[in-house]
């Protein structure tokens, strides 16, 4: 099996895995199948290994730590080092436009700025001091966000669209695990890559960070592809003839050309494959994030919003077997209003009392 087939097989597996995870996360029956598979798998793996794995996963995803921030910066540094060491030098020799070559560095500067802002910015933490302010911003829909509900951890009234981050049972099943241990206004999700919640006050930074990260990966992929194509054209590689495994003369086709370039420039082709996969993944997630912003939804609301159970509905209270009601997004007010709310977070307006 040659390099190109292996790479395409790997790309297909990654994309299928991501699509499967997204589908399973929204389908309760598939969730049950996944849990059943995990239980079967746990019977095969030794208990000591299971405990070690659970401790590691608990530390990575259910505690605040800088592991993914360090990993993010290391991977980004390795990609840019390879780009500078290989692509930038070769492209200068081939007289590529300097504007295209420095574009990834400009995107990197913007990306790191908004990455830092996303990491350190207050996402909209709800406290005793601002509880009443947040309660006035969004309307309660009495389905996903009913009135007069208190957070059992913070002991604060929960404003509409807020959520506590995060209250789940840990690997020992005897303690409560908390990531940030605070309620967040307009909670979207907790991002391990920035070690912070994404909420009303830093979603704008997160979107720009995500956009520049996607753009930088795509730009490096385009420049690297342009370099390899230009090299093949200048060197007339596509007109070369080689001898195949049966001793016959063959004109160099695309598959053989890619394998030849991989053997000649292995690090460049490997980096190109990596940034291509990264561009697809980040681009898909970027489209999803823009869809949420355009429709004024959060990831938390999208995940729970297909069938929201009206806990305070009299019919449900009288009949537990009643059908769940379809959740309707009452917070969307048109594309531009929704986008403005992301970049200019909503604040309550007060009327001054006349003396």
Sign of CA dihedral 301, 152, 123, 69: negative
Kind and range of the H or E run holding 197: strand 196-198
Q: Are residues 113 and 257 in the same domain?
A: yes
Domain assignment present for 343: no
pLDDT at 39: 66
The boundaries of the domain holding residue 146 are 131-201+304-330
Q: What is the pLDDT of residues 20-39, one digit of tens each?
A: 656 555 555 555 665 666 66
The pairing of strands 307-308 and 249-251 is unpaired
| pLDDT tens digits along 185-223 | 999 999 999 999 999 999 999 999 999 999 999 999 999
Inter-residue contact 54 to 171 (CB < 8 Å): yes
Question: 139 and 69: one domain?
Answer: no
Q: Is residue 247 part of a domain?
A: yes
Q: Has residue 342 been placed in a domain?
A: no
At 78, list the tokens.
């390795």
184/209 same-domain check? no
Are 188 and 209 members of one domain? no
Per-residue model confidence as pLDDT tens digits over 135-149: 999 999 888 888 889
Catalytic residue numbers, as ranges: 191
Signed CA dihedral, 75, 198, 203, 329: sign only: positive
Is pLDDT of 258 > 60?
A: yes
Domain membership of residue 344 (yes or no) is no
Q: 175 in a domain, yes or no?
A: yes
User: For tokens 């991002």, what's the residue?
Assistant: 191
How far from the centroid of its chain's Cα atoms is residue 48's Cα?
Answer: 32
Instruction: Answer yes or no: are the C-beta atoms of 286 and 239 closer than 8 Å.
Output: no
Residue 38: predicted pLDDT: 62
141 and 163 part of one domain? yes
**135 and 159 share one domain:** yes
335 located within any domain: no
188 and 314 both lie in a single domain = yes
Residue 248: pLDDT band by 50, 70, 90 thresholds?
low
Number of domains in the chain: 3
Average pLDDT score over the chain: 80
């Amino acid at each position: 099996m040659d390099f190109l087939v292996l790479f395409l097989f790997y790309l297909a597996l990654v994309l299928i895995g991501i699509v499967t995870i997204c589908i399973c996360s929204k389908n309760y029956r598939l969730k049950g199948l996944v849990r059943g598979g995990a239980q079967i798998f746990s019977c095969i793996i030794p208990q000591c290994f299971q405990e070690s794995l659970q401790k590691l996963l608990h530390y990575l995803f259910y505690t605040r730590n800088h592991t993914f921030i360090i990993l993010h910066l290391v991977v980004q540094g390795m990609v840019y080092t390879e780009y500078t060491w290989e692509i930038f030098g070769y492209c200068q020799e081939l007289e590529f436009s300097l504007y295209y070559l420095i574009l990834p560095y400009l995107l990197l500067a913007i990306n790191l700025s908004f990455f830092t802002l996303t990491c350190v910015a207050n996402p909209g933490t709800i406290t005793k001091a601002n509880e009443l302010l947040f309660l006035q911003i969004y309307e309660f829909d009495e389905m996903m966000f009913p009135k007069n509900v208190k957070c059992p951890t913070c002991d604060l009234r929960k404003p509409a669209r807020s959520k506590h981050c995060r209250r789940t049972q840990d690997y020992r099943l005897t303690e409560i695990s908390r990531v940030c241990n605070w309620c967040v206004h307009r909670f979207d999700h907790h991002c391990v890559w920035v070690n912070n919640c994404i909420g009303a006050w830093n979603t704008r930074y997160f979107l720009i960070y995500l956009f520049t990260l996607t753009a930088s990966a795509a730009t490096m992929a385009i420049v690297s592809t342009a370099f390899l194509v230009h090299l093949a054209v200048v060197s007339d590689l596509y007109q070369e003839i080689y001898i195949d495994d049966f001793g016959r003369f063959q004109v160099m086709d695309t598959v053989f050309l890619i394998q030849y370039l991989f053997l000649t420039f292995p690090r460049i082709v490997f980096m190109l494959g990596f940034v291509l996969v990264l561009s697809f993944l980040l681009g898909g997630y970027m489209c999803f994030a823009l869809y949420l912003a355009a429709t004024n939804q959060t990831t938390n609301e999208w995940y729970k919003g297909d069938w929201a159970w009206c806990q305070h509905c009299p019919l449900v209270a009288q009949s537990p077997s009643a059908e769940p009601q379809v959740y309707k997004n009452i917070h969307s007010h048109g594309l531009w209003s929704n986008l403005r709310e992301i970049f200019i977070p909503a604040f309550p307006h007060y009327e001054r009392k006349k003396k």
